[in-house]
Amino acid sequence: MLVHAIPTNVNYEFAAEVRDGLTREAQKELPSKYLYDDVGSALFEVISHLPEYGLTRADERLLRRHAGEIVDRVQGPVAVAELGSGSGRKTRWLLEAFCRRQRVSYYPVEISHSALVMCERELSDIDAISIVGFEREYLDGLLEVAAYRKPGQYLCVLFLGSTIGNFDRTAGVKFLSEVRCILRPGDSLLLGTDLEKSSSQLLRAYDDELGVTAAFNLNLLARINRELGADFDLAGFQHVARVNEEERSVEMHLLSKRPQVVSVPGAEVVVEFREGETIWTESSHKYSVDEICATAQQAGFRCEVQWMDDQWPFAENLLVAE
């Protein structure tokens, strides 16, 4: 697999966003994309197997059951791009179905180099596939993929799991609109969305008994220590999951157990924490079925068809660029 590496200024961007997020007065915040370094990506793979976290298994069930039907509804000839491929395990069902129809170019877009390596290892045995990975932010990678488009070729973009839920609703529409601007009419987007569910189910999923999600969240502080020379004491912070009923989301925070001062030399900042103060690290918004179609329409897509899991409230949505 050919991997186009991320630009060398990534540490500057990381430092700038850490400095900006940790110096906010109302609520300290760190972008959720930075949870997924090599260690974080590996921990998330473990989370996907936990009994409390049914989202990934629902995603995989739908792809396994409906891969043929999904592929039949995608215009061809087609190239496949995936935003946030992870290990590529659940993408196999779709790619095998596409390859029964034609030879396929597959372009995983990831910010984690190790995830791209795992993805290539997972999928390279599929016949009639070529893999070119992009170690990029989603939109930057998709722009490069679009430049590879051959005359008469359609793009099918995969945005699986429920990564769209990491955006608030306004930002989600904006992101999908930006994806649409890169696509042409007739191109498609397969969008995974986690659906609304009870608060108790959400809290179990995002604060598991084994503490894997806590380790995943705390690894963000460890990453800042490793890459920016910070002196976060991980024992001084606690993973907290909170349901936000108004936003229909679940939030992950890192709570300071005591008053403390943390130095982050790589971001040129010293940060004070009060006891009980939190760093907001991720939100996962949950959708209704009808809301997904309305969101797609706002962003310039037509919701062609939806498939819903019968064990965990989750939907795959095939959107077509208009």
In contact, 192 and 161? CB cutoff 8 Å: yes
Choose the weakest-confidence range: 25-39, 50-64, 103-117, 236-250.
103-117
In a domain, 11, yes or no: yes
Same domain, 220 and 303: no
Same domain, 150 and 23: no
Beta carbons within 10 angstroms of residue 213's beta carbon: 23
Same domain, 39 and 169: no
Same domain, 183 and 315: yes
Taking each helix axis from N to C terminus, what angle separates 289-298 and 169-182, rounded to the nearest 10 degrees?
A: 50
Same domain, 75 and 33: no
Q: What's the token pair of residue 259?
A: 């008053």
In a domain, 1, yes or no: no
Same domain, 228 and 186: no
Phi first, then psi: what are they for 210, rounded to 5°?
A: -75, -15
The confidence score (pLDDT) of residue 8 equals 44
Residue 6 has pLDDT above 60, yes or no: no
pTM as predicted: 0.91
In a domain, 192, yes or no: yes
Total domain count, the chain? 2
Same domain, 192 and 111: yes
In a domain, 123, yes or no: yes
In tens, the pLDDT along 80-102 reads 999 998 888 889 999 999 999 99
Q: How confident is the model at residue 117 (pLDDT cuts 50, 70, 90)?
A: confident
In tens, the pLDDT along 264-309 reads 999 999 999 999 999 999 999 999 999 999 999 999 999 999 999 9
- Residues 95 and 90: their CA atoms lie apart, in Å, by 10
CATH of the domain at 72: 3.40.50.150
Same domain, 61 and 44: no
The confidence score (pLDDT) of residue 1 equals 55
96, 135, 140, 132: which is closest to 114 by C-alpha? 135
Sheet bearing 154-159, strands edge to edge: 2-4, 129-135, 104-110, 78-83, 154-159, 188-194, 314-321, 301-308
Domain that holds residue 168: 55-197+287-321
